[in-house]
Structure formats: C-alpha cells, structure tokens
Structure 1
Amino acid sequence: MPPLSHPPNSRKITNPVLKDEVVFIETSQESNGRHSLVEVLLSPGGGNPLHYHREFAEEFVCLEGELSVQLDKEIIRLKVGESATVPVHRLHRFFNQSAEPCRFECRITPGFPGFEQFLQIVYGLAHDGQVNRQAMPKNPFALGYVILISGTYMSGLMAALQPALTWLGRQAVKRGIGSTLQQRYVSIE
C-alpha cells in the first residue's frame, strides 16, 4: 500500500486536481462540537456546485483576494475582512471568479466531523489519482460514501442522483469501503 497522501500529523491537505489547499484550524472534536474551522486557499476558477446542508450553517470570511458566495440566486463578492453566513437549508456555493487565488476561513456551526472527513478523503483520493477532473471520486461506492458523511445535499440534476448516492454510501459502509477510506485518509480528528 502506498504511503498516506499527507503526513499523519499535518493539518494541511492539498488537492492536486483543484490546486486548492485546506488547513484545519480547529476540528469539531477540538472545539467540543461548537464548530469546525478551516482555512482554504482557492485557485482562480475554483469552487463547488450549488448545494445545501441540513445540519450545519457555514460562515465564510475572506482573508485574501476576493471570494464569491452564491446564496440562492444572489451572488455576494466578499473582499478582505468581509463575511457571509449561510443558514441551514439554504442553497449556496462558493467560488473564485477572480484571476488570483483567494484565501478564506469557513466555520461550520455546529461542528461536523463527517465534513472534515469528507475533505480528507476526497483530497487523499485526488493525490492517489482516484478522482475525475471535477475532483469527485471515480469509484461510485467512494462517491456515495463521501456524499453520505459530508452532510451535503445537491440541487438540480444532481439532486435526482442523491438517493442513489446515499444507497451507494450505505453499501460502502456495509462492504467495509467506508472503513478503508477512513483508515487510509483520515488523520486529522
């Protein structure tokens, strides 16, 4: 088995496909469940698709450059020091529409270990060449598993796939795939 994609005690993970990095500032366990706090370096053109969360809110604070946050149909362009909060059940995405990288903090309240594990697994799979060009796991059971644990619900066409992805995630748990992914990639708790 090849070595871990990131050193076991490192708090920084990188995604070679997206050319992004995440630093874990404070995990849910470290904050006694109050929040999960990460700092993200997002490449120009980087971001994620529209989605929502049922169990946690997100706050984005721009630290460097410019971060765009879409809330439903509204796009908010955050400059250094500005923030936006996304309540539970609110359709949103973040992205970098500038030509320069941006750096921002993302605070998830309450803390959500599954989201922290999702990041580590997907970034680890990216290092191992096991993701597509959108940095999503190629293996359908791995994809289902990370969607299952992340607390993320998709919108649009992807929302129609959510039940199938949830089923694949549950199958990944039953077959031990989830446990293997956890053991291989999750080192920050």
Structure 2
Amino acid sequence: MPHRVLGNGAFEWIGSWYKTILSSDDTEGSIAIIDSISPPGGGPPRHIHHKQDEIFVILTGKIEFWFEGTRFTRGPGESAFIPKGCEHTFRVSGSDWSRHLVTVTPGGLDAFFEDMGRRKLTIPQDMERVVETARRHALEFTGPPLEDE
C-alpha cells in the first residue's frame, strides 16, 4: 500500500498518495517538496502554475508528460522541469505505480494538495470546488487529463 511506503502523514487525493517532506511553512514559503506515489494511468487535468516552478524527480515507474503540446517520458533517475506559467500535465505510463518527488519554488502547492486530501474532493464531481481552491493557490486548470494520441 502506498500510504505504508510513505508512512505517517500520507494522504490520498484522486488515486495518488502524497506526503509533504519539506513544507512551505518550514521554508518561509520559499520551497516545498512532496513525495508522491501514483497508480498506472494516474495524473491530473491539464493545468498551469502561475507562481511556481515545478521539478519532478522520478524514483520508480515511468511518467509521460505533456508540456505545451509536446510529449516526453521520464523514468527512474530522471527529472522534468516545468517553469511557472506553462501549461502541462502528466500520467503514469505502463503497469507500475510511480513514486516521484515534486519540488515547487516558491512553496505553496503542498497546502493545495493537503486541502484537497483533507476535503476529499474528487474530479470531475467536485471540479467547481477544486477550481475555486486552485485559484487561491495560483493554479489554473485548462483541460482534460492526458490521454492516448
């Protein structure tokens, strides 16, 4: 079970498990690091972070990224950089779960994930409330999750 791998403090949101390992509060807002485990096919709707750069470090599994119309895949030991203001999404490809670290600068995205997990909001059923909360974290949803071409 992913929550056992991540340990105490892990929470689930839309099928993925998250644990903040360096919070925005701990860094006075300058950075946050989130440990995440996502199932095959898992990933968010297309979106833009208006204030944060995002760095993925893939520990296990493979992730297919969509970045402003371009697709690319990263696997264990590889990383992806998503600059703020750029439309993107991702999904776990293959049949294995992916464990990845997500670093955001400045911090803040950790609070969004924790809010979503605590409130147990789902997509698409609770999309209106998800979008409202995302807006408070300078996050904008712009399209559907990644699908096969």
Fold in common (TM above 0.5)? yes
- TM-score class, shorter-chain normalisation, is 0.7 to 0.9
- Aligned match of 1:47: 43
Preserved contact between residue 67 and residue 104 of structure 1 (Cα < 8 Å): no
Question: Which residue of the other structure, out of 116, 122, 134, is the alignment partner of 1:147?
Answer: 134
- The residue identity in structure 2 corresponding to 1:137 is D
Preserved contact between residue 122 and residue 137 of structure 1 (Cα < 8 Å): no
Higher RCO by CA contacts (8 Å cutoff, separation 6 or greater): 2
* Cα distance in 2 for residues equivalent to 1:107 and 1:122: 18
* Cα distance in 2 for residues equivalent to 1:144 and 1:48: 12
Q: Which has the higher helix share?
A: 1
Q: Which has the higher strand share?
A: 2
TM-score, normalised by the number of residues in structure 2: 0.81
TM-score, normalised by the number of residues in structure 1: 0.65
Question: Which residue of the other structure, out of 110, 115, 118, is the alignment partner of 1:121?
Answer: 115
Preserved contact between residue 66 and residue 77 of structure 1 (Cα < 8 Å): yes
Let me know the Cα RMSD of the aligned residues: 2.0
Note the 1:1-189 alignment, pairs <5 A. 10-15=8-13, 18-112=14-108, 115-126=109-120, 131-132=121-122, 134=123, 137=126, 140=128, 142-156=129-143
Compared CA separation, residues 19 and 53, structure 1 to 2 (3 A):
closer
State the percentage of identical aligned residues. Answer: 20
Which structure has the larger Rg? 1
Preserved contact between residue 50 and residue 84 of structure 2 (Cα < 8 Å): yes
* Cα distance in 1 for residues equivalent to 2:80 and 2:130: 29
